[in-house]
A and B are shown apart, each in its own frame.
Chain A
Amino acid sequence: MAEYIKYVDVTKCDGCRACMVACKNWNDLPAEPEEFQGSVQSHAKVTANTWNVLSFIEHEDSKGNLDYLFRHSSCFHCSEAACVKVCPENAMHYTDFGTVNVDSDKCVGCGYCVQNCPFDVVQLATYKDKNGKEYKKAQKCTMCVDRLEEGMQPACVTTCHTDAMEFGTKEEMLKKAEKRLSEIKDKYPNAMIYNPEGVGGTHTIYVLAEKPSVYGLPEKPKVPTSAVVWKDYAQPIGKMMLGATSMALVGAFVSNKLFNKEGKGHEEEGGGSHE
């Protein structure tokens, strides 16, 4: 299957927030009323029930001119995702489309993914079971995987009226991004394509008008070293050690059987310990 990615050209965005509405609507997410935060922006950042937030940034450029920047923010769907790496239950996984999703049946709400996401996207949602007991599950943008499976584009993309967002093959979208970058370089000298290598590239790429830090994005995000150590070294070693322990057990059992014939030694030893 061809690899598909979401392309976001923030320079075409007019901040209408239809993508936020489309997301809530398609994914049936509850409203989260917020206090006024001093700007048009509704939520400070994405939450467990608001997978997609339009951020409004008042930016003063080097010449002292004010620029009003908009950015559709949601999960980046990293190719080498930290959340997938750290998840102890394999609830965070890659789909057939290369995107990253949570398997809610497997998720135990440990929150490792929340701590390790380089973009601060994954959050825990709290639910109540029928006995009134609270439990948590990781939640985030699914890239509308249920739509992708039907051959349809994500809800946010289809609703975008300025064509700031598009969904297509990786190759095609990267080409589009390059072309757009060359068009806006004069107006925005700091413009760049945001497809960070530290996480193996992402399935949501941006054409940003300014440096990533202006948008509150990490300049060089990467999978945290602790996550790599945990999944690539600690877990395998742990499993190996488990293997070693069970081998030792089997060994002990066999040697007991072999060398303490008729169970004498066993009894004697056991008896001895009681004295």
Chain B
Amino acid sequence: MKKSVVSKEYQKLQKEIISLQEQWKSSINADRIQPNLDKAAMEAGVPVTALAAIDFDIPLFLQWIEDISELLSKYQPDIEQSMESLKKSLNEETAKRWIDEAFAFNYVYFASFAEENSLDQWIPSFVAETVLRPYLQVTAEKVQDEIHHGVHGSGCPVCGEPVRLAQLEGEGKKVLHCPRCSAHWHDRRVTCSHCGNNDHETVKVLTIEGESAVQIQVCEECKGYTKIIDTRQYIVKPTPAMLDLNTIHLDFVAQDQGYKAAGETKQTN
């Protein structure tokens, strides 16, 4: 989209990262991922990847880190040195640890890693997340046929990422898309995808003047929001990751109005 608030340059970088990830995905042997589709766990909202047995190819993982470092240095020559020291500080041992921590979204670990190795705060978590995604996406592709619905409040049924993006399909079906692992699942139209509230009085819609294809569904119960994009109107459908990035102004609008990316779970007592 032309009118995105995101700069052309950053969009280009993200597109290159995504195509790099696509390249990496093709080098993953899908048989090394054994998802365990435990019905009870899925009903309880446990993400599929948490139970899947994934046999990570560590040398490949380290190679990817090199690839992404190269790409980032190309766009930001002044971080080349940091990237070099990052590569030096990584070995098989830390790579394994990284995978675990990236899975768990452990920002504290990555923050301390950055501090120990005197790197910019964002670098380790960004790199770890970028190189983990291909595995999540391959897992999602493998189990997509079994993913029909999510558990409200548990985020993406495959990777656990909080819900924030939906696309409209067919006659207006709301399909939630995970910008992290690209899994998608159906949810009812007038239902908060965070807390499951389906009271039409408290599930509201914010619209942006002049943007006919976007809505922000907000919930007065949990104060969560979901961006709903009518991509049926698009000429070419973007990847969920790019769509999420290019609609970032909706996140600003929603958060400005006091809504949160992940809804609050109500305390029962």
Contacts and interface: CB of A to CB of B under 8 A. Distances in A.
Interface of A: 4, 26, 147-153, 158, 167-168
Nearest to B171: A161
B235 A168 contact: yes
Contacts of A168: 235
Contact of B3 (A150, A153, A158, A167): A150
A151 B232 contact: no
Contacts of A147: 233
B2 A153 contact: no
Nearest to B232: A158
B232 A150 contact: no
**Which label, helix, strand, loop or mixed, suits the secondary structure of the B interface?**
loop
A216 B171 CA distance: 33
Interface of B: 1-3, 212-213, 232-236
Nearest to B238: A151
B237 to A, nearest CB: 10
Contacts of B232: 158
Nearest to A26: B212
A26 B213 CA distance: 12
Contacts of B213: 152
A167 B2 CA distance: 19
Contacts of A152: 212-213, 233-235
A222 to B, nearest CB: 30
Nearest to A22: B212
A158 B168 CA distance: 12
A190 B1 CA distance: 41
A94 B3 CA distance: 22
Contacts of A153: 233-235
B52 to A, nearest CB: 35
Nearest to B3: A150
A151 B233 CA distance: 9
A147 B235 CA distance: 10
* Best-surrounded residue of A4, A149, A158 (most CB of chain B within 10 A): A158
